[in-house]
Amino acid sequence: MQEKISNDLKEAMKSGDKFKLSVLRMLKSALQLEAIKEKKELSDEEVMGVIKRNVKQRKDSIAEFEKYNKQEEIVNLEKEIEILKAYLPEELSEEQIDEEISKVFEEVKPASMKDMGKMMKMLTEKIGTVADMSLVSKKVKDRLMNVK
């Protein structure tokens, strides 16, 4: 995974794609910082985790920029997200997420909101790299509110 990112960074340099180059440099820096923090070479799963965090940060920034109607920044962040998402596996659809949540509900049989942590832990292990976990969390919370 890191090799692919490095190769794409070189390609962006050769082609003169300054925008993609800057995004990939930021990503490479984030990966290096994570490797230093973990004191080891990152696995592909850990690399995907770093990329997902970067995507989430950009989505959060978009929400902030929308409040102040800063369209140019929003467009740039959306482009950055597209570049980063190229390194992530295809995300699950809402229907697939609902199916996974149902499976975990059947397994855990939650009684109340107190089981939210257990549910999220299991779902993160199962679909953490291929699903928007903030959406998953919201869906689990909604379903737990209706458990009686």
Q: Mind listing the pLDDT tens digit for each residue in 5-54?
A: 999 999 999 999 999 999 999 999 999 999 999 999 999 989 998 999 99
Q: Mind listing the pLDDT tens digit for each residue in 106-132?
A: 999 998 899 999 999 999 999 987 888
Q: What angle do CA 109, 113, 116 make, to 5 degrees?
A: 70
Complete domains list, the chain, with CATH:
2-85 (1.10.1510.10), 94-145 (1.10.10)
How far are the Cα atoms of 5, 54, 55, 76, 88 from residue 67, in angstroms, in the given order?
33, 20, 19, 16, 28
Under DSSP, is residue 78 helix (H, G, I), strand (E, B) or coil? helix
Q: Mind listing the pLDDT tens digit for each residue in 54-66?
A: 999 999 999 999 9
How far are the Cα atoms of 59, 62, 92, 125, 138 from residue 66, in angstroms, in the given order?
11, 6, 26, 32, 22
**pTM, to two decimals:** 0.79
Q: What angle do CA 21, 24, 28 make, to 5 degrees?
A: 135
End-to-end alpha carbon distance in the chain: 45
Q: Mind listing the pLDDT tens digit for each residue in 69-111?
A: 999 999 999 999 999 999 998 889 999 999 999 999 999 999 8
Q: How far apart are CA 84 and CA 96, in angstroms?
A: 22
Q: How far apart are CA 5 and CA 11, in angstroms?
A: 10
